[in-house]
């Protein structure tokens, strides 16, 4: 980093329940364009997640340990407030399809009104993951289907175990 130059910090938010190859792709690509990437796990009490926040933080740490410039954190409340709290100037959002864009654009514009020092950057997902979501992984896993094309090998048994307890 050059002297006097401010560090470029971004946030990549999500539920990561569970983390998929699509998430990992976005994390690796985002980390290449900023000095530090905060992978931010939203704690949403209105949802009933498969994994606890602590489990998701741990799994993300395990899966992304090869990326040197990331921090994994959880947060409550508004993303734009958390971005200001960690001194991030960029929010990274992934777009899988045109349908994602309309929703993400509304959120980005709202965030910009709330805090005009924070910009949203959209990255399109790699084509091989354009269909992939945590919801799809959970649906397939709930029926005992093969999820090896969707998530890292070290997470597969943990995901299946969550469904065997139900």
Q: Which residues are catalytic, by number?
A: 23, 47, 96, 134
Contact 34, 119 (CB under 8 A): no
C-alpha span between 41 and 107 (Å, rounded)? 17
Sign of the alpha-carbon torsion through 40, 43, 49, 52? positive
Helix (H, G, I), strand (E, B), or coil: what is residue 134? Answer: helix
Q: Are 7 and 82 in contact (CB under 8 A)?
A: no
- Are residues 141 and 163 in contact, defined by beta-carbon separation less than 8 angstroms? yes
Distance CA 161, CA 122 (A): 34
């Amino acid at each position: 980093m050059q002297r006097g130059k401010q560090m470029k910090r971004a946030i990549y938010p999500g539920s990561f329940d569970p983390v998929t190859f699509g998430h990992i792709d976005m994390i690796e690509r985002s980390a290449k364009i900023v000095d530090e990437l905060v992978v931010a796990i939203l704690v949403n009490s209105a949802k009933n997640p498969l994994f606890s926040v602590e489990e998701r933080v741990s799994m993300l740490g395990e899966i992304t340990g090869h990326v040197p410039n990331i921090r994994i954190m959880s947060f409550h409340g508004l993303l734009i407030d958390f971005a200001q709290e960690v001194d991030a100037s960029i929010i990274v959002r992934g777009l899988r399809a045109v349908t994602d864009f309309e929703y993400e654009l509304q959120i980005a514009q709202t965030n910009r009104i709330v805090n005009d020092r924070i910009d949203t950057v959209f990255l399109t997902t790699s084509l091989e993951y354009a269909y992939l979501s945590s919801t799809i992984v959970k649906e397939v896993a709930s029926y005992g289907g093969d999820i090896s094309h969707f998530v890292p090998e070290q997470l597969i048994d943990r995901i299946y175990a969550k469904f065997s307890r139900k």
